[in-house]
Every structure is written in C-alpha cells, then in structure tokens.
Amino acid sequence: GIQVEQSPPDLILQEGANSTLRCNFSDSVNNLQWFHQNPWGQLINLFYIPSGTKQNGRLSATTVATERYSLLYISSSQTTDSGVYFCAVGQGGSEKLVFGKGTKLTVNP
Amino acid sequence: DGGITQSPKYLFRKEGQNVTLSCEQNLNHDAMYWYRQDPGQGLRLIYYSQIVNDFQKGDIAEGYSVSREKKESFPLTVTSAQKNPTAFYLCASSVVKGTEAFFGQGTRLTVV
C-alpha cells in the first residue's frame, strides 16, 4: 500500500519563528489533507489540498502531486500552534485515508 | 452547529466486556468511518460505511463490530475479542467515500 512519511518528527520553535513541515508519499493520490491534532486529541482540518497551493491566515500549503510531496508552512508561530500535525492521503476514490506518523510541534513563548 | 459528536469522551472497560462508542453527525454526509490511534502513531481504519445498512471492514476490523441503521449514526462496538482495545478512537464523515473527511473529538478507551 501507499506509504506516507512526514518530516521532521519533532520540531521546537520560539514564538514568532517560521517553519516548514514535509509530507512525502509513495504513489499518486487524489486526496491529501493536513490536520492539526490539539492537546485534547481532536483533529482539526487545516487543508484539503490534493494539488496546488492554498493559504489560510498564517498557514499555507503546497502539494506537488507529480513529485509526490506536500509542504505545510507556518509563519509567525504562536504557542497555540503546538500539537501534532498529520498528513493523510487517499487514492482513487479509496475508502480510507492513510496517515503519516505526524510532526510534533512545540512552540515556546 | 453542524458537526460530528462522539460520546463518551472517556470510557473504561473491564476485561471480557463489550462496549459501544457513539458517533453522530448532522452534516448530511453519506460516508462514515472509524479510526484507531495508538500513542505516537497515525490513525488506522477500522470500519467504514458508504450508505445506510452497508459497511465494510478496514485494515484492523478484528474484534470490532458496527451498524449503520440511520444516516446520522455509526456506532462502534469493541468486543471482548479485541485483544488490545486501549486506544483513542476517532469517528469521521465525508460527503461521499474518498472526499474531504471531518473528525469528531474522539473517545479514549481504557481497559482496566
């Protein structure tokens, strides 16, 4: 099955810094989502981005489907950005999302 | 507000007991899913349903059962056959299979 690798596994930043999270996948996809898992465990949808670029406030994402990777950019990070960021992909109308293991982000004041 | 509601948030189960986790959505989505998350890991698919009265096994269905009698509801039963049930369980829904998925708040199950 498709493999999803996220890097880095852990990231520690000072408030105000910028960061880039990466998601590599091993096969073509037609569904790619980025989530933020908050300290209470809830998965918050950040982007649905099987291709192209999107921006939402301080966050933006780019997926280059032909090269099988996606990037999540966080600018001017805040302590509330802390948590685990997951990339998940789906293929060809498949029933499931395949998740990476996540990037744990810690933003210190 | 539209969304997905899971209950309870925390659940404790004794060895040998079956327990049922609730998932309700008011988004009018056809597809619903159950995922399991273990510490430090991503999510794995347990069961999914594309339509009322239909459901399919995911990657780790052994020891679990589901029903889909109403469009809004997709309860998950963790049976005594599930050897390692302690985990965080997340329910999701999407308009149809394979489209953008939205998740509930999760239920944390602990076997005592």
In tens, the pLDDT along A42-51 reads 999 999 999 9
Model confidence band, residue B1 (pLDDT cutoffs 50, 70, 90): low
Task: With CB atoms and an 8 Å threshold, state whether A45 touches B102.
Answer: yes
* Chain B hits for A42, Cβ within 8 Å: 103-106
* CA-based nearest distance B95→chain A, Å: 12
Asked if the model's pLDDT at residue B103 lies above 70, the reply is yes
Average pLDDT along chain B: 93
- What is the percentage of chain B residues whose pLDDT exceeds 70? 98
Task: Nearest by CB to A96, from B48, B90, B102: name it.
Answer: B48
Question: For B19-47, how does the pLDDT look when each residue is reduced to its tens digit (9 = 90+)?
Answer: 999 999 999 999 999 999 998 888 999 99
The residue among A38 and A92 whose pLDDT is bigger is A38
CB atoms within 10 A of CB A92: 10
Task: Nearest by CB to B45, from A40, A41, A96: name it.
Answer: A96
Show the 3-state SS of chain A: CCCEEEECCEEEEECCCCEEEEEEECCCCCEEEEEEECCCCCEEEEEECCCEEEEECCEEEEEEHHHCEEEEEECCCCHHHCEEEEEEEECCCCCCCEECCCEEEEEEC
Looking at residues A7-34, what average pLDDT do you find? 96
> Which of B5, B47, B103 to probe the A interface (max A CBs under 10 A)?
B103
Looking at residues A61-82, what average pLDDT do you find? 97
Looking at residues B77-104, what average pLDDT do you find? 92
